[in-house]
Amino acid sequence: MQMTFRWFGQGNDNVSLSHIKQIPGVTGIVWALHDVRVGEKWPLDKILEVKKQADQYGLNIDVVESVNIHEDIKLGLSSRQQYIDNYKETIKELSKVGVKVICYNFMPVFDWIRTDLFKELEDGSTALFYEKSKVENIQPNELVNSVFKNKDFTLPGWEPERLDQLSELFEAYKNVTEEKLWDNLQYFLEEIIPVAEQHDIKMAIHPDDPPWPVFGLPRIINSSENIRRLYSLVDSPYNGLTFCSGSLGANGKNNLTGIVKEFGERIHLAHIRNLKRFENGDFIETSHKMSDGSIDVVGIVKAFHEIGFTGYTRPDHGRHIWGEVCRPGYGLYDRALGIMYLWGIWDTLQQTESSV
Protein backbone atom coordinates (compact mmCIF):
# COMPACT_ATOMS: atom_id res chain seq x y z
CA MET A 1 0.00 0.00 0.00
CA GLN A 2 1.40 3.37 -1.07
CA MET A 3 0.07 6.21 1.08
CA THR A 4 -0.65 9.55 -0.58
CA PHE A 5 -2.26 12.85 0.40
CA ARG A 6 -4.41 15.14 -1.69
CA TRP A 7 -2.92 18.57 -2.33
CA PHE A 8 -4.61 21.48 -4.09
CA GLY A 9 -1.49 23.43 -4.98
CA GLN A 10 0.50 26.38 -3.68
CA GLY A 11 -1.72 29.32 -2.85
CA ASN A 12 -4.85 27.20 -3.20
CA ASP A 13 -4.76 25.41 0.12
CA ASN A 14 -3.97 25.77 3.80
CA VAL A 15 -1.94 22.55 3.49
CA SER A 16 1.68 22.85 2.37
CA LEU A 17 4.01 20.22 0.96
CA SER A 18 6.07 20.69 4.11
CA HIS A 19 3.05 19.63 6.18
CA ILE A 20 2.46 16.58 4.00
CA LYS A 21 6.11 15.51 4.19
CA GLN A 22 5.82 15.33 7.98
CA ILE A 23 2.96 12.80 7.94
CA PRO A 24 4.50 9.33 8.52
CA GLY A 25 4.46 6.99 5.56
CA VAL A 26 3.25 9.46 2.92
CA THR A 27 5.27 9.08 -0.27
CA GLY A 28 3.32 11.16 -2.77
CA ILE A 29 0.67 13.76 -3.46
CA VAL A 30 -2.62 13.41 -5.31
CA TRP A 31 -2.92 16.55 -7.40
CA ALA A 32 -4.47 18.33 -10.37
CA LEU A 33 -4.19 21.57 -12.32
CA HIS A 34 -7.25 23.29 -10.92
CA ASP A 35 -6.74 26.44 -12.97
CA VAL A 36 -7.08 24.62 -16.30
CA ARG A 37 -10.65 24.62 -17.60
CA VAL A 38 -12.34 21.27 -18.08
CA GLY A 39 -11.75 19.97 -21.59
CA GLU A 40 -8.52 21.85 -22.23
CA LYS A 41 -5.16 20.14 -22.72
CA TRP A 42 -2.92 20.40 -19.65
CA PRO A 43 0.20 22.50 -20.44
CA LEU A 44 3.48 20.67 -19.90
CA ASP A 45 5.11 23.68 -18.25
CA LYS A 46 2.46 23.71 -15.52
CA ILE A 47 2.81 19.96 -15.03
CA LEU A 48 6.58 20.31 -14.72
CA GLU A 49 6.12 23.06 -12.13
CA VAL A 50 4.13 20.71 -9.89
CA LYS A 51 6.81 18.04 -10.27
CA LYS A 52 9.50 20.55 -9.36
CA GLN A 53 7.60 21.60 -6.23
CA ALA A 54 6.99 17.99 -5.12
CA ASP A 55 10.60 16.94 -5.85
CA GLN A 56 11.81 19.51 -3.33
CA TYR A 57 10.15 17.45 -0.61
CA GLY A 58 10.86 13.99 -2.01
CA LEU A 59 7.20 13.40 -2.85
CA ASN A 60 6.06 11.67 -6.03
CA ILE A 61 3.25 12.93 -8.27
CA ASP A 62 2.18 9.48 -9.47
CA VAL A 63 -1.57 10.08 -8.99
CA VAL A 64 -3.65 12.81 -10.64
CA GLU A 65 -7.14 13.56 -9.35
CA SER A 66 -8.79 14.54 -11.51
CA VAL A 67 -8.49 15.07 -15.22
CA ASN A 68 -12.16 15.93 -15.49
CA ILE A 69 -14.39 14.89 -18.38
CA HIS A 70 -16.05 17.64 -20.41
CA GLU A 71 -19.84 17.50 -20.33
CA ASP A 72 -19.98 17.19 -24.14
CA ILE A 73 -18.32 13.77 -23.77
CA LYS A 74 -20.84 12.64 -21.17
CA LEU A 75 -23.66 13.96 -23.31
CA GLY A 76 -22.33 12.25 -26.44
CA LEU A 77 -22.43 15.45 -28.52
CA SER A 78 -20.75 15.73 -31.90
CA SER A 79 -18.30 18.20 -30.35
CA ARG A 80 -16.95 15.56 -27.94
CA GLN A 81 -14.07 14.45 -30.17
CA GLN A 82 -12.08 17.66 -29.72
CA TYR A 83 -12.26 17.20 -25.94
CA ILE A 84 -11.33 13.52 -26.17
CA ASP A 85 -8.33 14.45 -28.32
CA ASN A 86 -7.28 17.01 -25.69
CA TYR A 87 -7.64 14.30 -23.05
CA LYS A 88 -5.34 12.01 -25.02
CA GLU A 89 -2.74 14.77 -25.28
CA THR A 90 -2.98 15.35 -21.54
CA ILE A 91 -2.33 11.66 -20.90
CA LYS A 92 0.78 11.88 -23.07
CA GLU A 93 2.05 14.97 -21.22
CA LEU A 94 1.43 13.41 -17.81
CA SER A 95 3.39 10.32 -18.79
CA LYS A 96 6.47 12.52 -19.28
CA VAL A 97 6.65 13.17 -15.52
CA GLY A 98 5.94 9.60 -14.43
CA VAL A 99 2.22 9.79 -13.63
CA LYS A 100 0.85 6.27 -13.13
CA VAL A 101 -2.84 6.76 -12.31
CA ILE A 102 -5.53 9.21 -13.45
CA CYS A 103 -8.67 9.39 -11.33
CA TYR A 104 -11.76 10.72 -13.10
CA ASN A 105 -15.53 10.42 -12.89
CA PHE A 106 -18.47 10.22 -15.25
CA MET A 107 -21.15 11.93 -13.12
CA PRO A 108 -23.42 14.32 -15.01
CA VAL A 109 -23.24 17.98 -13.90
CA PHE A 110 -22.32 17.41 -10.23
CA ASP A 111 -19.24 15.45 -9.14
CA TRP A 112 -20.59 15.19 -5.60
CA ILE A 113 -23.44 16.61 -3.59
CA ARG A 114 -23.79 17.70 0.04
CA THR A 115 -26.37 19.94 1.68
CA ASP A 116 -24.14 21.29 4.47
CA LEU A 117 -20.39 21.76 4.21
CA PHE A 118 -19.83 22.33 7.94
CA LYS A 119 -22.44 20.36 9.88
CA GLU A 120 -21.57 20.17 13.57
CA LEU A 121 -20.97 16.77 15.13
CA GLU A 122 -21.49 15.87 18.80
CA ASP A 123 -17.80 16.42 19.60
CA GLY A 124 -17.86 19.99 18.29
CA SER A 125 -16.05 19.28 15.03
CA THR A 126 -17.79 19.83 11.68
CA ALA A 127 -18.10 17.68 8.58
CA LEU A 128 -19.80 17.30 5.22
CA PHE A 129 -23.49 16.34 5.52
CA TYR A 130 -26.08 15.01 3.07
CA GLU A 131 -29.78 15.54 3.85
CA LYS A 132 -31.78 13.32 1.54
CA SER A 133 -35.15 15.06 1.89
CA LYS A 134 -33.58 18.45 1.16
CA VAL A 135 -32.09 17.20 -2.11
CA GLU A 136 -35.44 15.67 -3.04
CA ASN A 137 -37.34 18.90 -2.35
CA ILE A 138 -35.00 21.65 -3.51
CA GLN A 139 -34.20 22.92 -6.97
CA PRO A 140 -30.58 22.55 -8.14
CA ASN A 141 -30.10 26.32 -8.39
CA GLU A 142 -31.32 26.76 -4.82
CA LEU A 143 -28.79 24.20 -3.58
CA VAL A 144 -25.98 25.84 -5.50
CA ASN A 145 -26.82 29.32 -4.25
CA SER A 146 -27.22 28.26 -0.63
CA VAL A 147 -24.29 25.86 -0.32
CA PHE A 148 -21.69 26.21 -3.06
CA LYS A 149 -21.60 29.72 -4.51
CA ASN A 150 -19.43 32.63 -3.39
CA LYS A 151 -17.02 30.58 -1.28
CA ASP A 152 -13.44 31.57 -0.45
CA PHE A 153 -12.09 28.27 -1.73
CA THR A 154 -12.24 26.29 -4.96
CA LEU A 155 -14.38 23.17 -4.90
CA PRO A 156 -13.53 20.61 -7.58
CA GLY A 157 -16.71 19.60 -9.34
CA TRP A 158 -18.31 22.94 -8.49
CA GLU A 159 -16.27 25.23 -10.72
CA PRO A 160 -17.84 28.68 -11.33
CA GLU A 161 -18.04 28.16 -15.09
CA ARG A 162 -20.06 24.98 -14.56
CA LEU A 163 -22.39 26.59 -12.02
CA ASP A 164 -23.04 29.48 -14.39
CA GLN A 165 -24.34 27.02 -17.02
CA LEU A 166 -26.52 24.96 -14.70
CA SER A 167 -29.87 25.56 -16.43
CA GLU A 168 -28.41 24.80 -19.85
CA LEU A 169 -26.78 21.61 -18.57
CA PHE A 170 -29.99 20.29 -17.05
CA GLU A 171 -31.81 20.99 -20.30
CA ALA A 172 -29.09 19.11 -22.23
CA TYR A 173 -29.38 16.07 -19.96
CA LYS A 174 -33.17 15.93 -20.12
CA ASN A 175 -33.17 12.98 -22.53
CA VAL A 176 -29.97 11.25 -21.37
CA THR A 177 -30.89 7.89 -19.85
CA GLU A 178 -28.62 5.53 -17.93
CA GLU A 179 -28.17 3.43 -21.08
CA LYS A 180 -27.19 6.48 -23.09
CA LEU A 181 -24.68 7.45 -20.42
CA TRP A 182 -23.23 3.93 -20.55
CA ASP A 183 -22.90 4.25 -24.34
CA ASN A 184 -21.08 7.55 -23.98
CA LEU A 185 -18.74 6.14 -21.33
CA GLN A 186 -17.92 3.19 -23.57
CA TYR A 187 -17.13 5.50 -26.48
CA PHE A 188 -14.81 7.52 -24.26
CA LEU A 189 -13.02 4.44 -22.92
CA GLU A 190 -12.58 2.90 -26.36
CA GLU A 191 -10.86 6.11 -27.42
CA ILE A 192 -8.78 6.66 -24.28
CA ILE A 193 -7.66 3.25 -23.02
CA PRO A 194 -5.34 2.43 -25.97
CA VAL A 195 -3.50 5.73 -25.32
CA ALA A 196 -3.35 4.97 -21.59
CA GLU A 197 -1.90 1.53 -22.33
CA GLN A 198 0.69 2.98 -24.67
CA HIS A 199 1.85 5.48 -22.03
CA ASP A 200 1.47 3.17 -19.01
CA ILE A 201 -1.09 5.27 -17.16
CA LYS A 202 -4.01 3.48 -15.50
CA MET A 203 -7.44 5.08 -15.65
CA ALA A 204 -9.40 4.81 -12.38
CA ILE A 205 -13.02 5.92 -12.45
CA HIS A 206 -14.46 7.30 -9.21
CA PRO A 207 -17.87 5.98 -8.05
CA ASP A 208 -20.87 8.25 -7.98
CA ASP A 209 -21.26 10.36 -4.85
CA PRO A 210 -23.88 9.69 -3.63
CA PRO A 211 -24.45 6.36 -5.42
CA TRP A 212 -28.01 7.03 -6.60
CA PRO A 213 -29.76 9.37 -9.08
CA VAL A 214 -30.05 13.01 -8.01
CA PHE A 215 -32.22 15.77 -9.54
CA GLY A 216 -33.26 13.28 -12.22
CA LEU A 217 -29.68 12.82 -13.43
CA PRO A 218 -28.52 9.27 -14.10
CA ARG A 219 -25.75 7.68 -12.02
CA ILE A 220 -24.09 4.46 -13.19
CA ILE A 221 -20.90 3.71 -11.20
CA ASN A 222 -22.55 2.78 -7.95
CA SER A 223 -22.65 -0.99 -7.33
CA SER A 224 -20.81 -4.28 -7.83
CA GLU A 225 -23.03 -5.08 -10.81
CA ASN A 226 -22.17 -1.83 -12.52
CA ILE A 227 -18.45 -2.12 -11.76
CA ARG A 228 -18.52 -5.47 -13.55
CA ARG A 229 -20.22 -3.78 -16.49
CA LEU A 230 -17.62 -1.00 -16.45
CA TYR A 231 -14.78 -3.52 -16.69
CA SER A 232 -16.51 -5.32 -19.58
CA LEU A 233 -16.81 -2.15 -21.66
CA VAL A 234 -13.08 -2.26 -22.39
CA ASP A 235 -11.47 -5.35 -20.90
CA SER A 236 -8.07 -3.96 -20.01
CA PRO A 237 -6.18 -3.61 -16.71
CA TYR A 238 -5.86 0.07 -17.64
CA ASN A 239 -9.63 0.44 -17.35
CA GLY A 240 -9.87 0.43 -13.58
CA LEU A 241 -11.54 1.79 -10.47
CA THR A 242 -10.96 4.30 -7.72
CA PHE A 243 -12.43 2.48 -4.73
CA CYS A 244 -14.15 5.02 -2.50
CA SER A 245 -15.55 3.68 0.76
CA GLY A 246 -17.52 6.87 1.34
CA SER A 247 -19.19 7.07 -2.06
CA LEU A 248 -20.06 3.37 -2.32
CA GLY A 249 -20.68 3.12 1.43
CA ALA A 250 -23.45 5.72 1.44
CA ASN A 251 -25.62 2.84 0.20
CA GLY A 252 -25.62 0.22 2.96
CA LYS A 253 -26.45 -2.50 0.43
CA ASN A 254 -22.97 -2.26 -1.12
CA ASN A 255 -20.61 -4.93 0.25
CA LEU A 256 -17.41 -2.90 0.43
CA THR A 257 -15.04 -5.70 1.48
CA GLY A 258 -16.56 -7.88 -1.24
CA ILE A 259 -15.91 -5.17 -3.82
CA VAL A 260 -12.25 -4.96 -2.77
CA LYS A 261 -11.80 -8.72 -3.01
CA GLU A 262 -13.64 -9.11 -6.32
CA PHE A 263 -12.23 -6.11 -8.17
CA GLY A 264 -8.92 -5.56 -6.37
CA GLU A 265 -6.69 -6.30 -9.36
CA ARG A 266 -8.15 -3.30 -11.15
CA ILE A 267 -8.45 -0.97 -8.18
CA HIS A 268 -5.68 1.53 -8.87
CA LEU A 269 -6.51 4.09 -6.17
CA ALA A 270 -8.29 3.72 -2.84
CA HIS A 271 -10.12 6.52 -1.02
CA ILE A 272 -10.81 5.42 2.53
CA ARG A 273 -13.16 7.44 4.70
CA ASN A 274 -15.93 6.80 7.19
CA LEU A 275 -19.47 8.11 7.38
CA LYS A 276 -22.53 7.56 9.50
CA ARG A 277 -25.72 6.55 7.71
CA PHE A 278 -29.17 7.36 9.10
CA GLU A 279 -32.37 5.41 8.49
CA ASN A 280 -33.98 8.34 6.65
CA GLY A 281 -31.22 8.30 3.99
CA ASP A 282 -29.11 11.11 5.44
CA PHE A 283 -25.40 10.63 6.08
CA ILE A 284 -22.61 12.61 7.68
CA GLU A 285 -18.87 12.12 7.37
CA THR A 286 -16.99 11.19 10.54
CA SER A 287 -13.51 10.41 11.74
CA HIS A 288 -11.85 7.36 10.20
CA LYS A 289 -12.31 5.44 13.47
CA MET A 290 -14.60 2.54 12.66
CA SER A 291 -16.92 2.89 15.68
CA ASP A 292 -17.65 6.54 14.82
CA GLY A 293 -19.51 5.65 11.64
CA SER A 294 -21.20 2.93 9.59
CA ILE A 295 -18.25 1.84 7.43
CA ASP A 296 -16.22 -1.28 8.26
CA VAL A 297 -12.89 0.50 7.89
CA VAL A 298 -10.96 -2.33 9.55
CA GLY A 299 -12.57 -4.89 7.24
CA ILE A 300 -11.76 -2.78 4.18
CA VAL A 301 -8.08 -2.40 5.10
CA LYS A 302 -7.94 -6.11 5.93
CA ALA A 303 -9.40 -6.97 2.52
CA PHE A 304 -6.76 -4.82 0.79
CA HIS A 305 -4.07 -6.53 2.87
CA GLU A 306 -5.38 -10.00 1.99
CA ILE A 307 -5.23 -9.33 -1.75
CA GLY A 308 -1.68 -7.98 -1.44
CA PHE A 309 -2.66 -4.48 -2.54
CA THR A 310 0.34 -2.45 -3.67
CA GLY A 311 -1.60 0.42 -5.23
CA TYR A 312 -2.15 3.97 -4.07
CA THR A 313 -4.27 4.91 -1.05
CA ARG A 314 -5.24 8.19 0.50
CA PRO A 315 -7.32 9.20 3.49
CA ASP A 316 -10.40 10.70 2.00
CA HIS A 317 -12.50 13.42 3.56
CA GLY A 318 -12.02 14.23 7.21
CA ARG A 319 -13.67 16.40 9.79
CA HIS A 320 -12.68 20.03 10.42
CA ILE A 321 -11.14 20.00 13.89
CA TRP A 322 -9.22 22.23 16.34
CA GLY A 323 -10.57 25.40 14.76
CA GLU A 324 -8.88 24.75 11.43
CA VAL A 325 -10.10 26.97 8.57
CA CYS A 326 -9.97 24.78 5.50
CA ARG A 327 -11.60 23.54 2.33
CA PRO A 328 -14.65 21.41 3.25
CA GLY A 329 -13.61 17.80 3.84
CA TYR A 330 -9.92 18.52 3.31
CA GLY A 331 -8.49 19.73 6.58
CA LEU A 332 -4.92 18.76 7.36
CA TYR A 333 -5.39 17.53 10.89
CA ASP A 334 -8.14 14.93 10.64
CA ARG A 335 -6.81 13.45 7.42
CA ALA A 336 -3.39 13.08 9.06
CA LEU A 337 -5.07 11.36 12.01
CA GLY A 338 -6.85 9.15 9.50
CA ILE A 339 -3.56 8.09 7.97
CA MET A 340 -2.22 7.02 11.34
CA TYR A 341 -5.40 5.03 11.98
CA LEU A 342 -5.03 3.27 8.61
CA TRP A 343 -1.34 2.58 9.24
CA GLY A 344 -2.20 1.17 12.67
CA ILE A 345 -4.56 -1.35 11.10
CA TRP A 346 -2.09 -2.19 8.33
CA ASP A 347 0.90 -2.59 10.67
CA THR A 348 -1.12 -4.84 12.96
CA LEU A 349 -2.05 -7.06 10.02
CA GLN A 350 1.57 -7.14 8.86
CA GLN A 351 2.87 -8.09 12.31
CA THR A 352 0.19 -10.73 12.80
CA GLU A 353 1.04 -12.26 9.43
CA SER A 354 4.77 -12.35 10.15
CA SER A 355 4.26 -14.02 13.53
CA VAL A 356 2.17 -16.89 12.16
Q: Which residues are designated catalytic? A: 206, 244, 271, 316-317, 330
Query: How far is Cα 302 from Cα 54, in angstroms, rounded to an integer?
Result: 30
